[in-house]
C-alpha cells in the first residue's frame, strides 16, 4: 500500500472517498497528472460544473501529481472506498476488467473520429460498466490521443529500427506484446520513474502521446519522436461503487452529466495541447519523424490475429471494426 508517510497516512484516515462536510457531499479525486495537463483541467471543469448543477451541495476535491498514489494504487484505493474517484489510463484497468484490453490493441481504430464514435457509443458504455464487480464504475473516457515512440539517439523509420532497443511500456499485456512484436524489448516502468530511467540508460526509448512527451520533459533526453501512432489508449474517469452508492439518483445524474460535459471540453483542450506540444519539442531540437505506418501495422498482424481468436476480445474487435 502507499500510505508510507505520516502526511499520506493522515490524508487516508481523514478523507472519505465520498462523505459529507456540513451539508455538502464531498468526493475525493486523486490522479497522477500535472495540473497543467488538459485532462486535469477538464476534471476541474467537471468539479465546477457539478458544484453549479448541485447548487453547491456537491464538491469534488482534486489531488493531482500522484499525491495520493500511483495509478494502480489509486484503483486499489477505489476498491476499498478510501478514494472516491480517479483518472487512469485504460491500460491500467486491464488487470481489473479484461474488456479494457481491446482499447490498447495496435491500430484497432481507423482514425480519431472512429475512436470517438466507439467510445461514446454502446461499446464504450459496455466497457465502462464492465468493472462493477471489482467495485469500480466507469464514468467517461478522456481522449489521450495517439501514442508514438520516442528514442534517445536512434532514428526509427521502420519496425526493424526498434531492434535491440529497450522500450518503456505501461504495465499492459497488450502493450508489451505489441512492442515485442515490432522488434523492441518491452520494459514496464512506472511513469514517475521514466525520466531517470531514460537518463541512466535503463531504457533507450518510450512511447506516449505528444502532450505527455512534452510535459514530462522527456524531450530533454530523447531527440527523436516517431509518429507511428501505433495505439490510442484513452484515459478513463472512475468512481468507487462505494462512493456511487452513497449518492442519490439526482446526485448521480448531476455527476454523470458533469463528467460527460468535461469529456467534450477535454477533446478541444487536447487538440490544442497536442499541437502546441509538437511545436514546442520541435523548437527544442527534437526531430519529428513521420514514417509509413503500414510496416508497423503489418508487424503486429500476428498479435492481432491471436487477439481476434480470443472469445472476449475477438467479438469486441469485430464490433469496433464494423462500427461506422
Per the structure, the complete domain to which residue 301 belongs is given by 147-232+276-322
Q: Average pLDDT for residues 68-95, to the nearest whole number?
A: 94
The pLDDT tens digits of the residues spanning 199-256 come to: 999 999 999 999 999 989 999 999 999 999 999 999 999 999 999 999 999 999 999 9
Q: Average pLDDT for residues 145-160, to the nearest whole number?
A: 97
Query: What 3-state DSSP class applies to 227?
Result: strand
Strands (E), the chain: 18-21, 24-31, 58-63, 85-89, 136-142, 147-151, 166-169, 185-188, 205-208, 224-231, 235-240, 287-289
154 and 88 within one domain: no
pLDDT confidence tier of residue 152, bands split at 50, 70 and 90: very high
State the DSSP code for 92: G
Q: Average pLDDT for residues 279-285, to the nearest whole number?
A: 98
The pLDDT tens digits of the residues spanning 41-50 come to: 999 999 999 9
Q: Specify the CATH number for the domain of residue 288.
A: 3.40.190.170
User: What's the domain count of the chain?
Assistant: 2
Q: Average pLDDT for residues 110-128, to the nearest whole number?
A: 96
pTM, two decimals, is: 0.87
246 and 281 within one domain: no
Q: Are 281 and 77 in contact (CB under 8 A)?
A: no
81 and 23 within one domain: yes
In a domain, residue 1? The reply is no
Q: Is the predicted pLDDT of residue 118 greater than 90, yes or no?
A: yes
pLDDT confidence tier of residue 16, bands split at 50, 70 and 90: low
Amino acid at each position: 500500500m502507499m500510505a508510507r508517510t505520516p502526511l499520506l497516512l493522515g490524508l487516508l484516515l481523514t478523507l472519505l472517498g465520498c462523505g459529507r462536510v456540513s451539508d455538502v457531499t464531498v468526493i475525493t479525486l486523486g490522479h497522477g497528472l500535472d495540473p497543467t495537463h488538459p485532462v486535469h483541467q477538464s476534471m476541474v471543469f467537471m468539479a465546477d460544473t457539478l458544484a453549479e448543477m448541485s447548487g453547491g451541495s456537491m464538491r469534488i476535491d482534486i489531488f493531482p501529481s500522484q499525491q495520493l498514489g500511483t495509478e494502480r494504487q489509486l484503483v486499489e484505493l477505489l476498491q476499498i472506498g478510501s478514494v472516491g474517484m480517479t483518472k487512469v489510463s485504460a491500460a491500467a484497468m486491464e488487470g481489473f476488467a479484461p474488456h479494457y484490453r481491446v482499447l490498447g490493441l495496435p491500430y484497432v481504430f481507423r482514425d480519431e473520429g472512429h475512436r470517438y464514435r466507439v467510445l461514446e457509443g454502446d461499446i464504450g458504455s459496455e466497457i465502462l460498466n464492465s468493472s462493477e464487480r471489482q467495485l469500480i464504475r466507469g464514468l467517461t473516457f478522456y481522449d489521450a490521443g495517439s501514442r508514438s515512440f520516442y528514442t534517445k539517439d536512434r532514428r526509427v523509420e521502420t519496425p526493424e529500427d526498434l531492434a535491440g532497443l529497450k522500450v518503456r511500456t505501461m504495465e499492459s499485456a497488450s502493450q508489451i506484446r505489441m512492442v515485442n512484436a515490432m522488434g523492441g524489448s518491452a520494459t514496464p516502468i512506472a511513469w514517475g520513474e521514466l525520466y531517470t530511467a531514460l537518463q541512466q540508460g535503463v531504457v533507450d526509448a518510450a512511447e506516449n502521446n505528444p502532450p505527455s512527451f512534452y510535459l514530462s520533459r522527456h524531450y530533454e533526453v530523447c531527440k527523436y519522436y516517431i509518429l507511428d501512432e501505433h495505439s490510442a489508449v484513452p484515459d478513463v474517469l472512475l468512481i468507487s461503487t462505494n462512493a456511487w452508492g452513497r449518492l442519490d439518483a439526482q446526485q448521480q445524474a448531476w455527476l454523470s452529466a458533469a463528467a460527460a460535459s468535461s469529456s467534450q471540453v477535454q477533446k478541444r483542450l487536447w487538440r490544442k495541447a497536442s499541437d502546441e506540444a509538437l511545436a514546442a519539442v520541435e523548437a527544442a531540437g527534437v526531430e519529428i519523424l513521420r514514417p509509413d505506418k503500414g510496416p508497423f501495422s503489418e508487424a503486429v498482424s500476428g498479435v492481432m490475429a491471436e487477439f481476434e481468436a480470443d472469445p472476449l476480445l475477438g467479438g469486441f474487435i469485430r464490433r469496433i471494426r464494423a462500427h461506422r
